[in-house]
């Protein structure tokens, strides 16, 4: 709803960037705190988070360029200079960077994936609040009471009530965080919390995409993110199966 929060001399504080930063800091604090309680390495969480934010932004931008490839060919300067990102690209790149890090440090990736999953959902929740404040990732037109009218901005159309899909996504992310924290006290099989994150986020993202109205690429009848969600959910089930097989052989 308000992209530029304030200016400090030549520096402008953007709401989206502030929410990303807040989510990142809380993600790291939660992850390091839980790492100490689980006898894992808190420093590894910080390293993984820093790698995740760098490679995550790069991956999110790269996937955006892939999704917008036709527009990139027509208007390369406009697309390259835009503020567009695709969250799934960031998640995939961040996870891959964490896998490489754990391999090089001889750490068990699934231990840290399980540990980080609730923190990732927390950071995503704040990120979606940033989307709402910036006006991106908006929903379809609606006459419902919960519809939101955005002011003039570079993203959402103004003067019309839209479904606040950003806030629904944020609430869903915070709910996923809470569910994962509860499950982590009961589920002891290595990799299951990470698999639950993939399943819950994939299903939630697939559903919310039906209500979005912004231009975000499509593959047939599905949006790009819905197609990726199908693979994420399939990966979750494969991870569950792998975890069960490992438990039976222990």
Q: What is the pLDDT of residues 190-237, one digit of tens each?
A: 999 999 999 999 999 999 999 999 877 778 889 989 999 999 999 999
Confirm if 89 and 68 have CB atoms less than 8 A apart. no
pTM to 2 decimals?
A: 0.89
Q: What is the DSSP string of 55-121?
A: HHHHHHHHHHHHHTHHHHHH-HHHHHTS----HHHHHHHHHHHHHHHHHHHT--HHHHHHHHHHHHH
Domain boundaries, given as residue ranges, for the chain = 4-248
pLDDT in tens, 62-119: 887 877 766 666 666 655 555 667 788 888 999 999 999 999 999 999 999 999 999 9
Predicted confidence at residue 165, as pLDDT, reads: 97
The DSSP H or E segment spanning 7 is strand 4-8
pLDDT in tens, 165-187: 999 999 999 999 999 999 999 98
Tokens describing residue 7: 């200016």
pLDDT in tens, 112-171: 999 999 999 999 999 999 999 988 899 999 999 999 999 887 788 888 999 999 999 999
Q: Which residues pair with 149 in a beta bridge?
A: 161
């Amino acid at each position: 709803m308000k992209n530029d929060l304030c200016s400090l001399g030549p520096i402008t504080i953007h709401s989206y960037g502030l929410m990303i930063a807040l989510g990142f800091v809380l993600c790291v604090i939660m992850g390091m705190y839980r790492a100490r309680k689980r006898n894992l390495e808190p420093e590894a969480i910080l390293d993984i988070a820093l790698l995740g934010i760098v490679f995550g932004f790069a991956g999110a931008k790269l996937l955006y360029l892939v999704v917008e490839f036709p527009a990139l060919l027509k208007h390369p300067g406009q697309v390259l200079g835009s503020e567009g990102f695709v969250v799934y690209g960031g998640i995939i790149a961040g996870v891959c960077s964490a896998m490489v890090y754990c391999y090089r440090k001889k750490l068990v990736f699934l231990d840290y994936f399980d540990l980080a999953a609730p923190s990732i959902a927390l950071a995503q929740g704040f990120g979606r609040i940033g989307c709402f404040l910036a006006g991106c990732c908006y929903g379809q037109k609606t006459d419902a009471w919960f519809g939101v009218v955005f002011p003039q901005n570079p993203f959402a159309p103004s003067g019309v009530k839209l479904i606040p899909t950003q806030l629904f996504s944020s609430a869903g992310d915070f709910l996923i965080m809470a569910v994962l924290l509860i499950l982590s006290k009961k589920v002891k099989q290595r990799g299951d919390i990470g698999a639950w994150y993939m399943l819950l986020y994939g299903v939630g993202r697939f559903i919310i995409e039906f209500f979005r109205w912004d231009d975000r690429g499509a593959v047939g009848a599905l949006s790009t993110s819905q197609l990726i969600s199908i693979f994420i959910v399939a990966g979750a089930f494969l991870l569950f199966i792998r975890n069960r097989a490992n438990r039976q052989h222990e």
